[in-house]
Chain A
Amino acid sequence: MRHAGSARIELQDATAAAAALTAGQPGTVLVDTRDAAPRGLSVIVPMFGTAGYVRACLDSVIAAGSGDIELVIVDDGSPDDCAQVARDWIARSGAAAVLVARPNGGLSAARNTGLLHARGDYLTFLDSDDLFDGATYRRMLGLGRAHGADLVFARAVCMDSQTQSLSAFPGWAVWWAIMGDRPMRRTTLAREPRLMGLEPSATTRLYRAAFARRIGLAFPEGLTFEDLPAHVRSVARAGCICLLGETGLQYRVGRPGQITATRGSGRQDSLATADMAIGEALAARLGLDAGACAYGGIARLLFWCAQHVARDERPAFLARAAEVLRRSPPGWATGYAFRFAPDETDRMAALAFARADIVLLAEMAEGAAPGLLRLAARAGQPGMRRPFVLRCRAAARGWAGAAWREVRSGRLPWRGRC
């Protein structure tokens, strides 16, 4: 059962992908309390339908004193009274802030609008339902300035909206592999290719403003999963990158109406953004290691999306995803699977994408535990169709054998540049 041939998509080339990262429209400035003095950090906060959360979000940024921070708050045509909440907050807090209104265009468009109004030496993005410890912003800013870093990362943590309990942020294993327990690290992509595999969220990092302008930082308008192409582009072109081992972002999960919680057609956008990200990675001529990590990050996102599309659409989605990923040089998939994948699921998914093994991917996405033994154990479950199980087992066995055969025969490179 191969679907790869049946669902072809028009793949954009790298230049088209780059052009799709368009500059935003300026919007209307409603309030501007900033003076002419230069600012250290611009925090761009797009708002849409989050009136109940905005105040806590803005408070958290200036809790450590507003000091060198300016807020660029963008009302993305929100149907609730976000703008009024923000207006009141600006008047009460006395922080340096600008409130911009624009017709609804989605998160990417609102961020692009915010970029036009940012005046700080560094800039960053914050979603209006999350919290960010302002003290960490100041530490990141200090670190970035001291080392002239193009990007400054900090740790993040997930917070359940209902119980307020904490859990690990996605991609924590990559962070730990890079940082361990160090308080900070100054590095570059060449020295630490795993940077490419960090969670692509634009909210966990500071960009040096001059660097962001030089690389034309922008987000693809009208698409969700917007962080991915910008992540690949910025990490690929950054010089010095600093990481701070302190927690800044508290990422809210489980909020009703959250973009990442939507099911269905929104997930299809991830194919387009993943395609753009692959284009960025190819255009940046990434080395084998960095390319492998980029591949892993993109494959992880696509697999996660596949888990959440409707079951009937899943094989078609996976086939298209595999086609997108197959634009990458073959060494990236094996490099990721055998050197960087943090767990068995990631390893198996990366190789299955490379082989376009849609049956195995669909079984994995449906929640079948990875591993031959676990797959075999499923045969005993009631209601399980035995021929299907046997086919899966055969697919999984074939995966391990065939991938190694290809590596050994030299058709898939195992190490070295591609």
Chain B
Amino acid sequence: MLTPPWLREALRRMEPYAGRMCDDDAWRARTGFFGPVRLPQAACGTLLLIGARSGLEAVLARMANPASRIFVVEADPGLRQRMLDLTDGQARVFATLEAAMAGDLPAGIDLARIDLAAFSPAVVATLAAGRRVDHLCGEASELAMDALALYRLCRERVRSFYFHLAEAGHAIAGDRPAPAVEVSVVVPAYNVAAWVEAALASLAAQTLQSLEVIVVDDGSTDATGAIADAWAAQDPARRRVVHQANAGCAAARMAGLAAARGEYVGFVDGDDWAEPPMFEELYRAAALRGAEIGQCGFHEAFEDGSRQDHPTAWGGDGPGGTTGRVADPRALLLLQPSIWRRIYRRDFLLRERIRFPEHIRRFDDLPFAFVSLARAGSVGIIPDCYYAYRQGRPGQDIAARDERLFVHFEIFEWLHAEIQPWADATVRRSFARLQLATHRFALGRIERRLRRRYLGAAVRQMHALGGGGRAALLWRLWPGWR
């Protein structure tokens, strides 16, 4: 994919040392194995190579920039001698990193490259602590160090970094300063006093340290607000409560979103709860893969203590497709709208102006889930069912069986206007399927006296929004026939 300058000449120079390592280095130079931002082979002022490998990188660097200063840390004396031969004695070679640090390694290093054989947490920490490193790259082993720990360490200490993970087969990269908060969790709560304590306790027990919780009390008439206030007072730096007059779930979520500072934002409903590893694992799935959205599974938690798991993870690049990065998130468009099991990168939501429709009082998560998945570049998924979705609570939105189900038409009207400017054929098709699935679900549970009216309205609207012919829609929607 790449052809770095001087590669041909450098390979000619390497002919006496040709071998598998040299071939491997040439392949790495051509594929941007160590990241594109500053190819280790590219010219730069001060280059530190930890682990000599074949020596091709040093030859390339010297050809591209004869003035570059090359420092090599290599335990094998034979390879040290080879590096000196290849660079006409211009490289400075050391047996250990400590010796190099004690020696005349300059305070500012433009680029450091760590080979897999030399990788250890100690090497990264020593390098990051002692010197100003502009770009740090290399091959990392998760046998030696947790990828998220490496990601965080690099993000704090170096300007940009790119590590290929040897076992996972993908890379972690970053060139932005560490965020103030990694994940903000917004908890919209309306009259859930009996359950909100469990929800907040589950957030307090999260293993992710850099987490802030914003409870939005949506004008509750019971003790919900007071419980949230008391809970937030225990740790005011990481917990906040926003009180507002009752304006609906969408408005509450928007208020929480406006108050959030995190790199990612999650939503947990006041009557549900999240298992302790949830946000750490979501952050790992999303941030390490540079994804706009992270998604885990969820389970329905019933009153009698039983649970029904819904991993619903597919399309990832990991083994079995249940983990990793989903390159085309539109594959997930038809999932039941479950925004609470995902985290969303905040700058992505702001950039794409993705919001909850505040005038719609129910099921506002459906358009949000659809638009965010349709617009996201990639999603990091894991199948673990960390989110508990409480079932059977009296007064729950989802339990409605009457006229309230007609809100779907308002939602689809709004969503259609929202996606109209940019939706392509795939999104449009998914939108039609989503309408069909939602209407079928509603027809299955709506009271008998309303069924005919709902069916007529559904066919009329779908037809008007370009969903197909009236007869075909009727055939697909009529519940008794299928």
Q: Hey, which bits of chain A sit against chain B, CB under 8 A?
A: 52, 56, 59-60, 63-65, 131, 133-136, 138-139, 155, 157, 159-160, 162-168, 183, 245-248, 250, 254, 256, 263-264, 307-308, 310-312, 366-368, 381-386
**In the bound complex, do residue A382 and residue B429 qualify as a contact, i.e. CB atoms below 8 Å apart?**
yes
* CB pairs A–B below 8 angstroms (23 shown): A56-B160, A60-B38, A63-B42, A136-B5, A155-B2, A155-B3, A159-B36, A163-B289, A164-B37, A164-B171, A164-B175, A166-B36, A246-B4, A250-B36, A250-B37, A254-B377, A263-B421, A263-B422, A310-B422, A311-B421, A366-B424, A366-B425, A367-B425
**Complex Cα spacing A263 to B395, Å:** 43
B337 within 8 A of A: no
Instruction: Pick the most buried of B39, B66, B436: most chain A CB atoms within 10 A of its CB.
Output: B39
**In the bound complex, do residue B36 and residue A63 qualify as a contact, i.e. CB atoms below 8 Å apart?**
no
**In the bound complex, do residue B5 and residue A163 qualify as a contact, i.e. CB atoms below 8 Å apart?**
no
**Complex Cα spacing A371 to B421, Å:** 25
**Complex Cα spacing A346 to B462, Å:** 34
Question: How near does chain A come to B144, taking the closest CB pair, in angstroms?
Answer: 22
**In the bound complex, do residue A166 and residue B1 qualify as a contact, i.e. CB atoms below 8 Å apart?**
yes
- The closest CB in chain B to the CB of A244 belongs to B5
**In the bound complex, do residue B5 and residue A63 qualify as a contact, i.e. CB atoms below 8 Å apart?**
no
**Complex Cα spacing A307 to B425, Å:** 11
Interface string of B413-435 (1 = CB under 8 A from A): 00000001111111011001100
Interface string of B1-31 (1 = CB under 8 A from A): 1111111100000000000000000000001
**Complex Cα spacing A256 to B134, Å:** 23
Q: Pick the contact of B429 from A64, A165, A383 — CB < 8 Å?
A: A383
**In the bound complex, do residue B3 and residue A247 qualify as a contact, i.e. CB atoms below 8 Å apart?**
yes
Interface string of B52-68 (1 = CB under 8 A from A): 00000000000011110
**Complex Cα spacing A155 to B171, Å:** 24
Q: Pick the contact of B64 from A135, A264, A381 — CB < 8 Å?
A: A135
- The closest CB in chain A to the CB of B65 belongs to A64
Instruction: Pick the most buried of A136, A254, A307, A383: most chain B CB atoms within 10 A of its CB.
Output: A383
- The closest CB in chain A to the CB of B433 belongs to A382
Q: Give the size of the chain B interface in residues (CB under 8 angstroms).
A: 54
Among listed B96-104, B199-207, B364-372, B463-471, interface-contacting one: B463-471
**Complex Cα spacing A65 to B68, Å:** 8
B44 within 8 A of A: yes
**In the bound complex, do residue A246 and residue B7 qualify as a contact, i.e. CB atoms below 8 Å apart?**
yes
Chain B positions 249-306 with a Cβ under 8 Å from a chain A Cβ: 289-290
Question: How near does chain A come to B46, taking the closest CB pair, in angstroms?
Answer: 11
Q: 6 more A-B contacts (CB under 8 A) besides A256-B351, A381-B429?
A: A63-B42, A135-B6, A247-B5, A367-B424, A382-B468, A384-B429
B358 within 8 A of A: no
Q: Pick the contact of A157 from B2, B173, B476 — CB < 8 Å?
A: B2
B347 within 8 A of A: yes
**In the bound complex, do residue B5 and residue A133 qualify as a contact, i.e. CB atoms below 8 Å apart?**
yes
B162 within 8 A of A: yes
**In the bound complex, do residue A311 and residue B423 qualify as a contact, i.e. CB atoms below 8 Å apart?**
yes
**Complex Cα spacing A60 to B175, Å:** 15
Q: Pick the contact of B35 from A56, A135, A164 — CB < 8 Å?
A: A164
List residues of chain B with CB within 8 A of the CB of A307. 424
7 closest cross-chain pairs (CB), A and B: A383-B432, A64-B43, A163-B290, A135-B64, A367-B424, A367-B425, A310-B421
List residues of chain A with CB within 8 A of the CB of B462. 383
List residues of chain A with CB within 8 A of the CB of B289. 163
List residues of chain B with CB within 8 A of the CB of A163. 171, 173, 289-290
**Complex Cα spacing A264 to B347, Å:** 21
